[in-house]
Amino acid sequence: MEIVQLLSGENRRRLERFSGAAALLAVVLGVLLFWGGTVFLRESVFKHWFNPTRHVVVDQDPVTGEVYAWKDALDNVYTQDDAHVRYFPYACAALLLLLLGLGVLGHRLLVEHYALILVLMQERLWEESRAGPWEVASGLACRVERGRPLA
């Protein structure tokens, strides 16, 4: 049985609102992590990727401005056939897939955890309403009078 079926109508609406907020949080966090990840990949892992602050253009199409070859401060010439340049889009795609998977997993865990909390709160309120003059504390019921337990 799915846990959502145990919830009342009000708690289902609460769960839907929480699910929407958690999805928005997952998307915003995913976009920020993807941006930071691509900057990290470009600057630290795939260093041969063209960077105008570190490289000088060697060969360029005069009409379109497309850069065909560039060199670094050590006079190493890089082209679009370099492994660092070729594999950078695949690394970005892998990063995107990883972040999507982690976002979906995190969203699912958050929503299921919140649903379980709502079910437990709902059951606790139901037990307290059924107990009448009995106080339900720590799972043990004891008779109360004016807020004080009777011995």
Residue keyed to tokens 């969203």: 107
Is 0.85 topped by the overall pTM? no
* Residue of 119, 56, 103, 48 whose CA lies nearest to 81: 48
Residue 115: exposure state from Cβ atoms within 10 A (0-12, 13-18, ≥19): buried
Can you read off the two tokens belonging to residue 74? 């050590």
State how far Cα 56 lies from the chain centre.
Answer: 38
pLDDT of res. 121: 80
How many whole angstroms separate alpha carbon 41 and alpha carbon 48? 11
pLDDT of res. 120: 82
How many whole angstroms separate alpha carbon 66 and alpha carbon 79? 12
What are the residue boundaries of the structural domains of the chain, listed by start?
A: 3-120
Say which residues have a Cβ less than 8 Å from residue 11's Cβ, sequence separation at least 6: 118, 119, 122
Per-residue pLDDT of the chain (151 residues; tens, 9 = 90+): 487 777 778 888 988 899 999 999 999 999 999 999 999 998 888 888 877 888 888 888 888 888 888 888 888 888 888 888 889 999 999 999 999 999 999 999 999 998 888 888 877 766 666 655 555 555 555 555 555 544 5
